[in-house]
Amino acid sequence: MLNQRILTAIGMAVFFIGTLAYLDPYSFSILVAVVVIYAAWEWASLSGFRSYGSKFLYAFFVLGVLVFLGYILGFGKTEPLDLHAAKSLLTWLVSWWAIALLWIQGYPSSAVLWGSRYGRATIGLLVLVPTWMAASILVSLSKGEWLIFVVVLIVAFADIGAYFVGSKFGKHKLAKNVSPNKTWEGFLGAILANLFLILFLGFFLKLSATGWLTLFLAVIATVLASVVGDLLESMVKRHRGVKNSGNILPGHGGILDRIDSLTAALPVFALIFVYNNFQF
């Protein structure tokens, strides 16, 4: 099982780096949309939709929302994306994660507000749609593929730091009713690991004092968001009574199980760049 998990992880990493390096921004956004649509299929199951027809309708509805937002942003046109519209949409869509955090803290009592089939389906829209938006906005920028790569690095460093520090020193539960294995010590490990990433990026990019501050805030905010994204999916899976969102990835589970942290991290990182004129 461990070898299978490692091989799958290597395969995903190679595929991700290859597509990021060789696909143009439009094609990469289409690929992300495909991933999001499949994730919507998995989320339909987490929402409680059992039939293939109902899951297909949910995935198709998510596709329709992506197409509509793509039209608003000017996706696919020769002109750059409408950054003013991107800023407005991201501001509203990212702000909902504050509500998600309250629901995570209040679980299981909070399930009365979102635990219905359609409540969970609505959460799915708020999780998946901004993920595609953020990826499409970032990759459309100058050197946007590096921005996407940095977000993935932040999440990876957070996962690695949380795992090793949490395994060694973890005692105090972060959200025991949602994910009993996650600890505050692991959370601090995620931040510490990313401090090394901040130092590397700061010196590599030769940032000014303002750039260092912006980088620090962007990375720490992204780490915090990644933890909330992970916990949200854990909460929905626990409420549904399942361990994984699917089984398409051997040793890892479903697509949602791999991108849960990114669903919050990508929009938060993108929003910071929108308000910072896409510069450190």
Q: What is the pLDDT of residue 69?
A: 92
Average pLDDT on 152-166 reads 94
Residue in this structure with the two tokens 């929402």, named with its chain if needed = 47
Average pLDDT on 115-137 reads 95
Q: What is the pLDDT of residue 9?
A: 75
**Token representation of residue 266:** 């990508």
Q: What is the pLDDT of residue 94?
A: 93
Residue 66: pLDDT above 90? yes
Confidence of residue 124 (pLDDT cuts 50, 70, 90): very high
Confidence of residue 277 (pLDDT cuts 50, 70, 90): low
Q: What is the pLDDT of residue 271?
A: 93
Residue 89: pLDDT above 70? yes
pTM of this structure? 0.92
Q: What is the pLDDT of residue 32?
A: 95
How do the domains of the chain map onto residue ranges? 2-275
